[in-house]
Amino acid sequence: MSFEKIRIASIYLFLWVMAFLSIFPFLWMLISATNESNDITKGKLSFGNAMVANYQKFAALFDVGLVFWNSAKIAIVGSVLTLLVSSLAGYGFEVFKSPTRERFYQGILVSMMIPFATLMIPLFILLASFDMLDTHMAVILPTIASAYMVFYFRQNTKAFPPELRDAARVDGLKEWQIFLFVYLPVMRSTYAAAFIIVFMATWNSFLWPLIVLQSVELKTITLVLSSLGSSYTPDFGVIMVATIMATIPTLAVFFAMQRQFVEGMLGSVK
């Protein structure tokens, strides 16, 4: 047994322990979804048979399909619009540099320092004046132009080979055509990574939808989850089922696009 072997073994052990700790809460969520509430609070670690009952209780309280659809609609529409607007801007700032626009860009970055709590009430008043409260659009609109995403796309555009652009110009393509038919296809994995990040954020967003959405018919899964958790007598079985349902879509999106995600991440820190 050489020192090198011990080193490698301990690396494996460390990695597996960390992986286990990372995954464990998910396992516990799965186990708990099959148990009754009072078993969960005692920390029962074996599978039970209350899964169906828990789901039925959940479905009796909320129209699960509709809640899911609301979350999906906000997340997908929001993500697509965010990617489009932010990548256009990131591309524009990087490809057509000018001192004036650089000032604007710095302004955008500075605006990210402001905590959301500061903006909440002015934003609410603003959307009220647009007569948009209690609509999904009001949830989506303020998130479309994401300063972080503009920054992300600008960083990634730095890795976009100028030769491709020049060649396209020689071929007589207009600038918007270059963006659409050259840049977009080449930057596929950058978009995939961005989509994952934005999708997760919008799917999981909580505070803003909470303030804007009043109608039960418009509620998203995170709002439902929060109201389940704050009942005087929370039913943890139901909560765990709802937690699983809130987590599945983000997991699915992540697994479907994992490879592009890692590649896309490569670009943004160059």
Partner 1 sequence: MEVGGPGLPPEPGVLVFSMRQALATSKETKEHTMHFAKPTTAHAAASLALASFGLMTAAAVSAKEVTVWAWDPNFNIAIMKDAAARYTAKHPDATFKIVDMSKADLEQKLQTTLASGVTKSLPDIVLVEDYNAQKYLRSFPTSFEPMSGKVDYAGFAKYKVDLMTVNGKVYGLPFDSGVTGMYYRKDLLAKAGFSEKDMENITWDRYIEIGTKVMAVTGKKMLGIDPNDNGLIRVMMQSAGRWYFDKDGKLDIKGNPALKAAMEVQGKLFKSGIVKPVTNWAEYVGAVNKGDVASITTGVWITGAVKSEKSQAGLWAVAPTPSLNVPGAVHASNLGGSSWYVLSGGKEKAMAVDFLNEIFAKDTDFYQSILISRGAVGTLMSSRAGKAYSDADLFFGGAQVWLRFSDWLAKVPSVNYGMFTYEGDAAVSAQLPALNQGVPVDQLLDKIQAQLAAQIK
Partner 2 sequence: MRQASRPGYRIFYDINGWAFVSVALLLIGTFMVYPIIQSLWMSFHAGQGTMVRFIGLGNVERLTSDPMFLRALTNTFIFLVVQVPIMIVLALVLASCLNMPNLRFRGLLRTAIFLPCVTSLVAYSVLFKSMFSYDGLVNSVLLQLAIIDQPVPWLTDPFWARVVVIAAITWRWTGYNMIFYLAAMQNVDKSIYEAARIDGISATRRFLSITIPVLKPVILFTTVTSTIGTLQMFDEAMNITGGGPADSTLTLSLYIYNLSFKFVPNFGYAATVSYVIVVLVAILAFFQFYVAREKD
207 near partner 1, rule: CB under 8 A:
yes
Q: Report in angstroms how near the CB of residue 65 gets to partner 1 at its nearest.
A: 4
Among 1, 3, 99, 115, binds partner 1 (CB under 8 A): 115
CB atoms within 10 A of CB 136: 18
Instruction: Choose one: 26-34, 43-51, 168-176, 186-194; the region binding partner 1 (CB under 8 A).
Output: 186-194
Closest contact distance (angstroms) between CB of 49 and partner 2 is: 20
C-beta separation of 105 from 154 below 8 A? yes
Tokens of 68: 């899911």
Q: Whole-number minimum distance, CB 212 to partner 2, in Å? A: 13
* Residue 232 near which of partner 2, partner 1, none (CB within 5-8 Å, type-dependent): partner 1
The residue with tokens 């349902």 is: 245
The reply to whether 80 sits near partner 1 by the rule CB under 8 A is: no
153 binding partner 1? (CB under 8 A): no
Can residue 135 be called a binding residue for partner 2 (CB under 8 A)? Answer: no
Residue 103 binding: pick among partner 2, partner 1, none (C-beta 5-8 Å cut-off by kind): none
State yes or no: residue 64 binds partner 2 (CB under 8 A): no
Closer residue to partner 2 in complex, CB, 53/126: 126
Residue with tokens 């320092």: 113
Distances (CA, A) of 83 to 33, 37, 207, 230, 240: 35, 41, 22, 34, 32
Half-sphere exposure of 43 (CA within 13 A, CB side): 0
| Residue 247 interacting with partner 1 (CB under 8 A) | no
